[in-house]
A and B are shown apart, each in its own frame.
Chain A
Amino acid sequence: MHQLLNTLYLTTEGAYLRLDHDTLRVEVERETKLQVPIHHLGGIVCFGDVLVSPAALARCAQDGRFVVFLDRNGRFQARVEGPISGNVLLRCAQHAAMREPDTTLTIARHLVGGKIQNSRQIVLRAARETDRPDDGEALRQTAEALANVLGRIPLSPDLEHLRGLEGEAARKYFATFDRMVREDRATFTLNGRNRRPPTDPVNALLSFLYALLMNDCVAALEGVGLDPQMGFLHALRPGRAALALDLMEELRSPFADRLALTLINRRQVTANQFHARPGGAVQLEEAARKEVIVAYQKRKQEEITHPVLDQKMPLGLVPHVQARLLARVLRGDLAAYPPFLAR
């Protein structure tokens, strides 16, 4: 079984990462802050003004450890890739499946189904835990509406229609997202989901967590040899990792949404950690970014039982497992893609 390797996140401005024998060394103003044997790391994520030495880049690319550069807000800038490893035959199968409308639609249905089911789960849980009856009622209504959309998925005749259902579910889900927030509702109000840039703290937090999850999804797909750009549900567009977005759908609520709510409800992030920028964008400040990353990493270490494999594993391994299950579907070893259903 694949081991969950740690990810090194560099958020300090001016940090310099260099290769020192078989270790990676992080220096800030010429002082060594951390030295890690490279075998502990699955990849490195750099935020903003961080330098990585050519030797370190080359070594990571060779070993297949991912190196990603994001801007300070977590938006993707660049990824360093080594010689395409993966499996050519698997990629061929992936491309072939894309040309089969039936196969594509079946896989896409399972992806959307998984997503809606997981959103519904988080809504129901919040409805159980809330102590305000009106919130509970509204959330239960949302859950019902989501169940209704879920029921219509098998009937969707084509991808366009399916995407419409997904959009409908997302709108319903985010319409009552606020009611899952228990602390400081004045700050943490969501005016519908918005991004590029996010214009309120909740959206900023969600966007940031989605960016972290996205990296893990791309890495997981590359790890099993799938082409992250060749998606089923998401339309192909140059530069868009469509398959990673596909894989991410069902993982959004267990990895990011629930974590965002936990951080807010436990007051681990607070109003003063967000800055409004000219033009309406809202940003997370540096210390809060670190806190969110730590929480995200901790969340990935939580033990869960995978419902399909019936095996205990850290949550962070789930994207890798799902990527492998998807590969088995594409190879024809598995009849249908089983999305990850969080409990």
Chain B
Amino acid sequence: MHVLVAYDVATESAGGRRRLRKVAQACQDFGQRVQKSVFECSVNEMQFEELVRRLVELIDEKEDSLRVYRLVEPKEKYVQIFGVDTSVDFNEPLVL
């Protein structure tokens, strides 16, 4: 399934900045950054649970905000993209 993860992490404190980095890394492990704090991930049910669990553990629920949206598939049909797009489709042939 395709999910979209968006977050706001309070970065006034050093702890907040550390949380921000960790949240970004967790998202990166499951998908790719498409905007500053927006990631798209393509995961199965198990990986989805794992992703959410990791993110919820990382954030400070008093200060940060996390949103996970499940996208309607097929993505090509329901997601419109305008402007700069550097994302890679991981299901397409990966030849470098």
| A297 vs B94: C-alpha distance when bound (angstroms) | 9
| A39 vs B43: C-alpha distance when bound (angstroms) | 8
B96:A35 contact, CB within 8 angstroms: no
| A9 vs B29: C-alpha distance when bound (angstroms) | 20
Q: Which residues of A contact B90 (CB under 8 A)?
A: 6, 36-37, 40
For window 32-52 of chain A, which residues contact chain B by CB distance below 8 Å? 33-37, 39-41
| A320 vs B94: C-alpha distance when bound (angstroms) | 20
| A53 vs B70: C-alpha distance when bound (angstroms) | 34
9-residue interface stretch from A21-29, A153-161, A238-246, A271-279: A21-29
The contact size tier of chain A is 20 to 34
| A147 vs B80: C-alpha distance when bound (angstroms) | 52
Q: Which residues of B contact A294 (CB under 8 A)?
A: 93, 95
A26:B96 contact, CB within 8 angstroms: yes
CB distance from B50 to the nearest CB of A (A): 10
Q: Which residues of A contact B32 (CB under 8 A)?
A: 35, 37
Q: Which residues of A contact B42 (CB under 8 A)?
A: 40
Q: Say whether B28 faces chain A, with CB atoms less than 8 Å apart.
A: yes
Q: Which residues of B contact A39 (CB under 8 A)?
A: 30, 43, 47
| A282 vs B41: C-alpha distance when bound (angstroms) | 42
Q: Say whether A7 faces chain B, with CB atoms less than 8 Å apart.
A: yes
For window 266-313 of chain A, which residues contact chain B by CB distance below 8 Å? 290, 293-294, 296-298, 301
Given contacts A12-B96, A37-B28, contact A6 B44 (CB under 8 A): no
CB distance from B61 to the nearest CB of A (A): 24
Q: Say whether B37 faces chain A, with CB atoms less than 8 Å apart.
A: no
A37:B96 contact, CB within 8 angstroms: no
Q: Which residue of A lies closest to B43 (CB)?
A: A39
CB distance from B24 to the nearest CB of A (A): 11
A293:B43 contact, CB within 8 angstroms: no
Q: Which residues of A contact B43 (CB under 8 A)?
A: 39
A37:B94 contact, CB within 8 angstroms: no
B91:A40 contact, CB within 8 angstroms: yes
| A7 vs B43: C-alpha distance when bound (angstroms) | 17
| A8 vs B94: C-alpha distance when bound (angstroms) | 5
A9:B28 contact, CB within 8 angstroms: no
Q: Which residue of A lies closest to B33 (CB)?
A: A35
Supply 17 A–B pairs (Cβ within 8 Å), ascending by A: A7-B94, A8-B96, A9-B95, A9-B96, A22-B30, A23-B28, A33-B96, A34-B94, A34-B96, A37-B30, A39-B43, A39-B47, A40-B42, A294-B93, A297-B92, A297-B94, A298-B93
8 residue pairs, one from A and one from B, having the closest CB atoms? A297-B93, A22-B29, A40-B90, A294-B93, A9-B95, A8-B94, A293-B95, A290-B95
Interface contacts beyond A11-B96, A21-B29, A37-B28: sample of 17 additional A-B pairs, CB < 8 Å, sorted by A: A3-B44, A6-B93, A7-B94, A8-B96, A9-B95, A10-B96, A15-B96, A22-B30, A33-B96, A37-B32, A39-B43, A39-B47, A293-B95, A294-B93, A294-B95, A296-B93, A301-B91
Binding site for A on B (CB under 8 A): 25, 28-32, 41-44, 47, 88, 90-96
